[in-house]
Amino acid sequence: MSSLQKNNPDLKIKELQYQVAVYEDETAYKALFFYLFPSLQNFAFSITRSRVLSEEIASDLLLDVWTRRNNLLEIENLKLYLFVGAKHAAINRLKQENKGSRFSLDNLQVEFISDYINPDVSAELHELQEKVALAVKNLPPSCQLIYKLAKEDRLKYKEIAQLLDLSVKTIDHQLSIALKKIATALHIPNSKKNRS
């Protein structure tokens, strides 16, 4: 992978989007799936707290991508579009399943998935990753979500703000809190971080 592409996943998504829309390229579609499905599923999971539901939601979204492949280029920002779709679908399913009151950022159960981490990573690195994971887990729910969307799903501040109905300033603030808390947690051996 060229380093330019690695640093610019949005460009790659645009490329793949083009391939799917214009050539109905199944290879590109699969690549889109590989990139987007995990993020979408995890995001849906944070709202629905159901693995089964979140998988269906993510799969439905990607199915839609194929169904509307001929009009796919009309979508400016595919990633954000799908995330918003995931949010709506997740909230709707929540309502349907009567899983609780209105969706609010504080009700989220965000998970940092470490089950499928590449086992070939060195033990040292692994330990660090686990420490970070634990620290992230201890972040307040909305802070945690924002951290994940920024770091792992690589959404832009503007995109996160739009997705969660927040201001960019809030994103700035939340991320700075996240970094500070994780850094603090890493420096204190065996710390059990208190939620604040």
Chain residues in the site for another protein (CB under 8 A): 1-2, 5-7, 9, 12-13, 16, 23, 26-31, 33-35, 37-39, 41-42, 45, 51-52, 54-56, 58-59, 62-63, 66-67, 111, 113-118, 121, 125, 128-129, 132, 150-154, 156-157, 172-173, 175-180, 182-183, 186
Specify the residue, 91 or 177, whose C-beta has the smaller distance to another protein.
177
Q: Phi and psi dihedrals of 180, rounded to 5? A: -60, -45
Specify the residue, 34 or 88, whose C-beta has the smaller distance to another protein.
34
CB of 57 to another protein, least distance (A): 11
Q: How far apart are CA 78 and CA 80, in angstroms?
A: 6
Amino acid at 196: S
Specify the residue, 102 or 179, whose C-beta has the smaller distance to another protein.
179
CB of 196 to another protein, least distance (A): 15
CB of 117 to another protein, least distance (A): 4
CB of 76 to another protein, least distance (A): 19
Specify the residue, 91 or 126, whose C-beta has the smaller distance to another protein.
126
